[in-house]
Homo-oligomer: A and B are copies of this chain.
Amino acid sequence: MNSDLNQDRGDYVLGLDAGGTRTRAVLATHDGSVAGEGTSGPGNALTVAEPGLTDHLAEAVARAVPERLRGRVAAVAGGFAGASGTADEPGRLRARSALTAALRRLGFPPVPVAVWSDIEVAFASAPGHPADGLALVAGTGAVAARISGRGCTAVADGDGWLLGDDGSGFWIGRAAVRAALRAADGRGAPTALTVSVGRALGVPEDVLPYEGTAWTRSRREAYRRHVLPAVMAEEPIRLARLAPLVAEAARDMDPPAEAILVEAVGQLTETVRALQPHPGERVVATGGLLGPDGPLTVLLTARLDALGLTLDWVADGSAGAVALARLGI
């Protein structure tokens, strides 16, 4: 790289992490120090239509980059949910088109724009900004990827809530309701999890199976009659909001809750193993289930350790997007 040329083209870079619930933009100096930040609405390139996607990107970028610095940005990189796959796939095309339009709208001069997937920028966010290894996302959904030369070369799971995302927040939330319904119809026994799931779904207090009271057939049937329509009235993916109840019950040693988390970790381990990891490889994880206080962090670290793998966690992909933008200078 030629520093005179950099000076000509500008001394800042812009990185974006555009996820299913939030878009984050980070302005950084050419040595990587953060100079501005902005967030906005959803940025999934497959599920958010292009006008809305452009709006969200423009909003986040406008907040991160003051007008006077817009001519001094040398490179832009964005990681998008829904933009895995090759450069000609619909998500990547839409992401590139929306990002270019957003920059133009904000008065940016022409600038190199790189489009990556959310997984690629998350992986690049790990300490040292690695180029090769494994990435694991465990939030509402679950997917693992092999990253080679900064790009994703293989994927395991990420099959969505209906068919896969095994071990994800959705999966854990659904397992919690399943355990509760099984307790109610006699295929299991009620526990604290049955109470917390029922309460979260609006089951009346006098129907819940509190310790020391008999859970009679009529109360069990009333429980089922409340839970089933409460779940069906919402989008299936909303079951993911029940995952924290499982984590809480497991902390109190609730047996079904502990079993659900152990099974979730087994599923995520299997997903990572499908990518044929080499001992000594690094797994960069992101998503709420695997954060510093995440309900699966301790269990999964131990499982991966037994395979000779180390687990790093990153909060989001914006640092990686900045690092990848710097590569574009």
Identify A156's interface contact among B178, B185, B228, CB under 8 A.
B185
* Contact for A163 among B157, B162, B178, B274, CB less than 8 A: B178
- Residue pair A185, B217 in contact (C-beta under 8 Å): no
Pick the residue among B156, B159, B228, B273 that contacts A160 (CB under 8 A). Answer: B228
Other-chain contact of A228, B163, B186, B221 (Cβ < 8 Å): B163
Distance in angstroms between the alpha carbons of A224 and B159 in the assembled complex = 9
B236 touches A162 (CB 8 A): yes
In the complex, A249 has a CB within 8 A of chain B: no
Is A177's beta carbon under 8 Å from chain B? yes
Residue of B nearest to A231 (CB): B163
> Do the beta carbons of A164 and B178 come within 8 Å of each other?
yes
Smallest Cβ-Cβ distance to A181: which chain B residue: B159
Chain A 84-121 near chain B by CB (<8 Å), digits 1 or 0: 01000000000000000000000000000000000000
- How many Å lie between the Cα of A59 and that of B116 in the bound state? 58
Interface of A is mostly: helix
Q: Provide the A143-187 mask, 1 if CB < 8 A to any CB of B, else 0.
A: 000000000001111011011100000000010011001100111
The verdict on A270 contacting chain B, using a C-beta distance below 8 Å, is yes
Question: Are B154 and A181 neighbours in the complex by a CB distance under 8 Å?
Answer: no
Residue A307 CB within 8 A of the other chain:
no
Q: Is A48 an interface residue (CB 8 A)?
A: no
Q: A186-B276, A187-B274, A217-B154 are in contact. Are A162 and B181 (CB under 8 A)?
A: no
**Given contacts A162-B174, A174-B162, A181-B164, A186 and B156 within 8 Å (CB-CB):** yes
CB-defined contacts of A275 to chain B, threshold 8 Å: 186
Judge if A271 is at the interface, Cβ distance under 8 Å.
yes
Q: A154-B217, A187-B270 are in contact. Are A160 and B232 (CB under 8 A)?
A: yes
From 244 to 290 in chain A, residues with beta carbon under 8 angstroms from any chain B beta carbon are 270-271, 273-276
A residues bordering B, Cβ < 8 Å? Answer: 85, 154-157, 159-160, 162-164, 174, 177-178, 181-182, 185-187, 217, 221, 224-225, 228, 231-232, 236, 270-271, 273-276
